[in-house]
Amino acid sequence: MMLKSKYYLIVALVLFFPQIGKALDMPAGGLAMPTSANELASMEGVSAQAYIVEDVNTGQVIIDKNSNQAWPPASLTKLVTALVVLDEKVPLSKTVAMTSADQTLGACTLGGACIKAKPGVKFTVDGLFHAALLPSANNAAAALAQSTGLSMDQFVAKMNQKAADLGATGTHFNEPTGMDPANQITAVDYAKIVTAAFSNNYLRGIAGLTSYALRSTNNSRYNQTIKNTDKLLTDSDIQILGAKTGYLDEAKYNFASLMKYNGQELAVVVLGEDHLYTAFDETKLLAGLAGVAQILALTNPVGQVLGTSTVASAN
């Protein structure tokens, strides 16, 4: 993948030929060298309100900014909904009738993302998983929650317990769709959540589909083809293992992914992007900068750590 970074060759040269590093300490007009991974991302123009790149196998934070800042997850909420339904061991073949409450919670008449449905139309739990994760259907997520037989309060309590069990201590949910802007996550928390979700083979299998033929079990007029909102899935530069998009006016665009890149398994979370395409572009950029950042840490004479949890400049 071609990145706009100038630093791959420069950093490698500094590492293996220290005298070049001295030569690069030039007056104004020369190439300024970043002193940390966070500064590197800032110099490359990453504009998300918060982000994190984490090595999944080591738990090392490679790059981050504002990663402990609370942020509305929007539809990133749905991965925790999915994990709770799996924990409840609801049979995938179980049929669930859509209710008016599901339609209302999904804001289906107000512009919320929803599959074509009405009260009484039935889908399997398996179909609802696909609908909640691929096109991010709010009514499907609400129906998944009700498939467990739990009350909404009980289900949400299990969502919050699931987050806590994963170590996501700065996370709180009020409902299962993501439509409530009072739901809160942090980038560092969500790296744990996206890793857990797509370490599950079933959820990873769904996330790997570009489209799915959703079928109603009792009304063929509601058979429909649904599509994955993750546009990086077909990008040949990276191997996406699973990803989720999210949008609310209050959150802007969020994107979280588990991927393999340059031999590393990375969790990359970007929050508060102005555009969805920016979320995709900056995810790719951050993944590419991870290797540069790790070399940079070796070149720093004071042993600079990679990412930090401190609030970085928002410019």
**Contact (Cβ atoms closer than 8 angstroms) between residue 64 and residue 310:** no
Tell me which residue of 72, 37, 57 sits closest to 195, measured CA to CA: 57
Asked if 78 is an active-site residue, the reply is: yes
Q: Check 42, 67, 78, 257 and give the catalytic one.
A: 78
Asked if 75 is an active-site residue, the reply is: yes
Token couple for 269? 């979370």
How many Cα atoms sit within 13 Å of 127 on the Cβ side?
Answer: 25
Q: Check 42, 67, 136, 147 and give the catalytic one.
A: 136
For 84, the 3-state DSSP assignment is helix
Q: Check 42, 75, 147, 216 and give the catalytic one.
A: 75
CB atoms inside a 10 Å sphere around CB 85: 24
**DSSP per residue over 192-261, as a string?**
HHHHHHTTSHHHHHHHT-SEEEE--SS-GGG-EEEE-S-TTTT-TTSEEEEEEEEEETTTEEEEEEEEEE
Q: What b/e sequence results for 123-135 when a residue is b if at least 16 CB atoms lie within 10 Å of its CB, and e otherwise?
A: bbbbbbbbbbbbb
Distance from C-alpha of 76 to C-alpha of 185, rounded to nearest angstrom: 9
Put residue 90 in one of left, alpha, beta given phi > 0 → left and psi -120 to 50 → alpha.
beta
Asked if 136 is an active-site residue, the reply is: yes
List active site positions.
75, 78, 136
